[in-house]
Amino acid sequence: MAEASTHPAANPAALRAPEPPARGAADPMRPRRFRIARLRRELADTFTLELEPLDGAGMHFKPGQFNMLYVFGVGEVPISISGDPADPSVLVHTTRAVGTVTNAMNRLKAGQSIGIRGPFGTHWPAEAAHGDDVLIVAGGIGLAPLRPLIHTVLAERDRFGKVLILYGARTPEDILFTRELKAWRGRFDMSVHVTVDRATGAWNGHVGVVTRLIKMGGFDPGNTSAFVCGPEAMMRFCLTALAEKGVREERMFISMERNMKCAVGVCGHCQWGGHFVCRDGPVFRFDKVADIFRVWEL
């Protein structure tokens, strides 16, 4: 293997640094300040922050990208953006209070401010799905990172074939964005199927794992782009179900989650094989990672 002995000095230009940056101007670890315009409770442990930039500049982002959210003195966490990419004036994050930082965030009030670094990472390539049926497969909180994609797809609905949202949640009480799901379900140009792992009482919808919704079909597998987001194990089974249906690996996209401390590819925490998930992900085209996706504890 030729690279094995490639000496770094073989590329001397690589060692001579380019121009120094303006001091402090481009410090990637310095957050911008945003004010909490609204804090909305979505579920028992899940909430949405609507944020406005204190420096006046909006935040342009692409569906699937994430920010690092900073609570003063407490810490920083990566959270995907769940708002509409067409509206950069308000930054929307939906997250679950599961750790120190997100719990602290959950206790903040409108008017208080938090720090934001971002947007970071790769995006759901809606443009790659032009002409295809669009299959959006979400599990649990995984609907939040897909929501900007749904907005993007609906904003240019004519460019796509059928549009299906398949959403699995734990129980009917855990279904996120219910009002929006109902509105989408009411449209004539898309299908929304929701299933829950277990239900009691009045639930009249599907009960069962989300993979069953994939098996039900309703899309043309050979011409379908699938965007899958949820817990890793859920994605594993969904990808298998999609492959069994005949969806091609190069048209499956997943969003990975790993520990992140810097989001700019230097802290090393988010490495997954050769990928820095913060930079090379979180969205991956499945065929690019199929060889490592099932390697245990990688």
Partner 1 sequence: MVQVEGLETLLENHPFFEGFDADTLALLAGCGVNERFGPGDYVFHEGSDADKVYIVRHGTVSIEAKVPGLDRVSLQTLQEDDVLGWSSLVTPYRYTFDARAVSLLRVVSLDAACLRKKFEADHELGYLVLNRVVAMMAERLQAARLQMLDLYQPKGGQM
Partner 2 sequence: MSDPATPQSARAVMLDVPGLDALIAALAGAGFTVIGPRLREQAIVLEPIEGRADLPAGWRDVQSPGHYRLEERADGALFGFASPPHAWKRHLHPPEVRLMRARSTGSGFEVTDSAGDHAPPRLALLGVKPCDLAAIAAQDQVFGLTPDAPEASRPDPTYAGRRRAAFIVALDCGHAAATCFCDSMGTGPAVPADGGGADLVMSEIVEGGHRFLVRPASPAGARLLDSLPEGTGRPPEAADRAAAAAVPEATRAAQRRRLDPDHRRIVADNLDHPHWSRVGERCLACANCTMVCPTCFCATVEDSTDLTGDIAERWRRWDSCFTMDFSYIHGGSIRIETASRYRQWMSHKLSSWYEQFGRSGCTGCGRCIAWCPVGIDLTEETARLAGRAPAQNAAKQDSATPTGGE
In terms of phi and psi (left: phi > 0; alpha: psi -120 to 50; beta: otherwise), the region of 73 is left
Nearer to partner 2, 246 or 273 (CB): 273
b/e code 71-99 from CB counts within 10 Å (16+ = b): beeeebbbbbbbbbbeeeebbbbbbbbee
Nearer to partner 2, 2 or 202 (CB): 2
Based on the shown chain and the rule CB under 8 A, indicate whether residue 158 belongs to the binding site for partner 2.
no
**CA separation for the pair 67, 80 (Å, rounded):** 6
* Nearest distance in Å: CB 220, partner 1: 18
Based on the shown chain and the rule CB under 8 A, indicate whether residue 44 belongs to the binding site for partner 2.
no
* Nearest distance in Å: CB 218, partner 1: 12
Residues numbered 107 to 136 that lie near partner 2 (CB under 8 A) are 111-115, 120
Interaction partner, residue 209 (partner 2, partner 1, none; CB < 5-8 Å by kind)? partner 1
Cβ–Cβ under 8 Å, residues 283 and 255: yes
Cβ–Cβ under 8 Å, residues 69 and 61: no
**CA separation for the pair 75, 90 (Å, rounded):** 22
Residues numbered 245 to 284 that lie near partner 2 (CB under 8 A) are 257-259, 261-262, 264-269, 271, 273-276, 279
Nearer to partner 1, 167 or 286 (CB): 167
Nearer to partner 2, 246 or 268 (CB): 268
Based on the shown chain and the rule CB under 8 A, indicate whether residue 54 belongs to the binding site for partner 2.
yes
Interaction partner, residue 26 (partner 2, partner 1, none; CB < 5-8 Å by kind)? partner 2
The footprint of partner 2 on this chain (CB under 8 A) covers a number of residues equal to: 67
Query: Kind and range of the H or E element at 285?
Result: strand 283-285
Residues numbered 183 to 222 that lie near partner 2 (CB under 8 A) are none
240 backbone dihedrals φ, ψ, rounded to 5°: -65, -45
In this structure, the number of other CB atoms found within 10 A of the CB of residue 15 comes to 8
Interaction partner, residue 104 (partner 2, partner 1, none; CB < 5-8 Å by kind)? none
- The number of C-alpha atoms within 13 Å of 11 and in the hemisphere containing its C-beta is 6
| Biggest alpha carbon–alpha carbon distance for the chain | 70
Interaction partner, residue 205 (partner 2, partner 1, none; CB < 5-8 Å by kind)? partner 1
* Nearest distance in Å: CB 69, partner 2: 12
Locus of tokens 């120094």: 20
238 carries a ligand binding annotation? no
- The residue among 169, 166, 225 whose CA lies nearest residue 191 is 166
Angle at alpha carbon of residue 127, lines to 145 and 248, rounded to 5°: 80
Structure tokens belonging to residue 261:
């401390």
The residues of the shown chain that bind partner 2, judged by CB under 8 A, are 1, 3-9, 11-18, 20-21, 23-31, 33, 35, 54, 70, 72-76, 96, 98-99, 111-115, 120, 257-259, 261-262, 264-269, 271, 273-276, 279, 292, 295-298
Q: Which residues are annotated as a binding site for [2Fe-2S] cluster?
A: 262, 267, 270, 278
